[in-house]
Chains A and B, each alone.
Chain A
């Protein structure tokens, strides 16, 4: 079946531009996570949704980062006034349920953002 998809796969933005990254989770998955992966590092948690509710946004690095999932399926991560330090791969993952380790998180291919 279809996995998690993300678009665009690559994005180049000039510093100061706004960007929007899209995640389409696996159909029926309740939980959706966003992670940021800098070059040579492991993914770092940004934010988490259960259906349309954003339950944890503790990992968002600044108020320039904003995520939404208005209908409990597709999610968008928006970055305003991009800075060079925002250059990274942004990963989305979804799972049936979260919190007990029982359900696997399925990852998308990521969006590679380069800020010039």
Chain B
């Protein structure tokens, strides 16, 4: 069965530090991949998605992710984080019928 794993449970950074959150998926075929973010007290919202084409995808708020098929990875990056990026981040793969298979989530805390 498809699965998604995220390497870090909790990441603490200072403002202006660079961010990379790891995500690996298990499925070997064509796969659509997503990063969702949940800010404190808010609902899940889409940061970016990959379903074909350029493996480097750009999302909202300066986030980007790179799809590396040979490594089954879809890591999220941001060159310089801000305090407002404090949130929980979820990587997800699309399964049959469009259902999303989520990783465990990574809590990001950014110190001002």
Which residues of A come within 8 Å of B, CB atoms?
Answer: 3-4, 31, 33, 35, 40-45, 48, 55-56, 59, 91, 93, 95, 97-102, 104-105, 107-110
Which residues of B come within 8 Å of A, CB atoms?
Answer: 4, 6, 32, 34, 36, 42-46, 49, 51, 90, 92, 94-105
Q: Is the CB of B105 within 8 A of A42?
A: yes
Q: Is the CB of A45 within 8 A of B100?
A: yes
Chain B residue numbers with a CB within 8 Å of A100 are 32, 51, 98
Chain A residue, CB-CB nearest to B45: A107
Q: Is the CB of B45 within 8 A of A45?
A: no
Q: Is the CB of B100 within 8 A of A56?
A: no
Q: Is the CB of B104 within 8 A of A41?
A: yes
Q: How far is the CA of A43 from the CA of B90 in the complex (A)?
A: 9
Partner of B100, one of A4, A40, A43: A43
Chain A residue numbers with a CB within 8 Å of B46 are 104-105
Number of A-B contacts (CB under 8 A): 72
Q: Is the CB of B103 within 8 A of A45?
A: no
5 contacts across the A-B interface (CB closer than 8 A): A91-B43, A104-B46, A105-B100, A107-B45, A108-B43
Nearest CB in chain A: distance from B3 CB, A: 11
CB within 8 Å for A45 and B32 given contacts A33-B100, A100-B51, A107-B44: no
CB within 8 Å for A42 and B102 given contacts A100-B51, A101-B51, A107-B45: yes
Chain B residue, CB-CB nearest to A110: B43
Nearest CB in chain B: distance from A49 CB, A: 10
Q: Is the CB of B97 within 8 A of A48?
A: yes
Q: How far is the CA of A27 from the CA of B104 in the complex (A)?
A: 30
Q: Is the CB of B97 within 8 A of A56?
A: yes
Q: Is the CB of B99 within 8 A of A56?
A: yes
Partner of B97, one of A4, A99, A102: A99
- Listed from nearest, the 10 A-B pairs whose CB atoms lie closest are A98-B98, A101-B32, A42-B102, A101-B51, A107-B44, A45-B99, A99-B98, A109-B43, A107-B43, A42-B105
